[in-house]
Amino acid sequence: MRRPLRRSVELRLDVADRIDHMPGQHYVVRLTAEDGYTAQRSYSVASAPGDPLVELFVERLDDGEVSTYLADVVEPGDELEVRGPIGGWFVWDGETPALLVAGGFGVVPFIAMIRHARDLGRLDLLRVAVSSRTLAELPYAEELVDAGALVVLTREARGIRTAGRLTAPDLVPLWEPGQTAYVCGSSSFAEAASQLLVGMGYPAADVRVERFGPSGTPA
């Protein structure tokens, strides 16, 4: 367990009889109270299939029932009931070019893709664009920068770039023939980013979207 960022926790799980996941898949964590009450949530896997452990990155939501437990109560050595890997759509095969567009905690499934690409020696297949409020709030920021990701910050300047949202001119140079685009982030981010791609002329059929969190206004 690590807490690399405020309000989050990185869990590395030793899963018995594990089936290799595809980058982009998720695991369900299920908690059971003494009285039999259960709560479960899904979390994207951040680790590569070749990693002996399954890494989950959990954002702690103040009113969350499972994330607060995972962030505040779990200790190394605890046993958790998990189910996975799950999902057959938002996955990358490790062989075809992909454009990854993430907002904030939406980077987690892309970390699995980047790590897998690195294991295969095929980082050239991935183009990555990430938006975050600040660099300090971006999970795996260093790893993303190392992988050559375009990092756009909405609340602080970065280099010669002033604070601002991801734009079409940011994404156009990352567009390559035969790519599948993967968009992951909060509902409002995913909506805005996928519309940006479609607006550029990116074929809607080549865009896969994963959204999470409340439908509320953009952060």
Partner 1 sequence: MPGPTRGFLGRRQRDPRLPPGQYDVGSDWPVLTAEPTPRIAPETWSITVDGRVESPTTWTWDEAHRLPPSEYRGDIHCVTTWSKFDTSFAGVSVDTLLEAARPTADAHFVMATSKTGYTTNLPLEHVTGGQAWVVWEFDGKPLPIEHGGPVRLLVPHLYFWKSAKWISKLTLLARDQQGFWEQNGYHDLGDPWRQQRYQGD
For CA atoms 163, 145, 126, 207, the dihedral sign is negative
Closest CA to 100 of 49, 75, 91, 169: 91
- Binding of partner 1 at residue 40 (CB under 8 A)? yes
Site for partner 1 (CB under 8 A): which residue of 14, 17, 215, 217? 215
Beta sheet of 98-103, edge-to-edge order: 150-153, 126-132, 98-103, 180-186, 207-212
Q: How far is the CB of 207 from partner 1 (least distance, A)?
A: 5
The DSSP line for 141-210 is HHHHHHTT-EEEESSS-BTTBPS----HHHHGGG--TT-EEEEEEEHHHHHHHHHHHHHHT--GGGEEEE
* Residue number with CB closer to partner 1 (151 or 179): 179
Region binding partner 1 by CB under 8 A among candidate stretches 120-128, 137-145, 170-178, 209-217: 209-217
Site for partner 1 (CB under 8 A): which residue of 7, 42, 119, 219? 42
Asked if residue 161 lies in contact with residue 120, where contact means CB atoms within 8 angstroms, the answer is no
Query: For the window 66-105, what string marks contact with partner 1 as x by the rule CB under 8 A?
Result: ---x---xx---xxxx-x--xxxxx---------------
* Residue number with CB closer to partner 1 (17 or 79): 79
> For binding to partner 1 (CB under 8 A), which residues are involved?
31-35, 37-42, 65, 69, 73-74, 78-81, 83, 86-90, 187, 190-191, 194-195, 197-198, 204-205, 207-211, 213-216
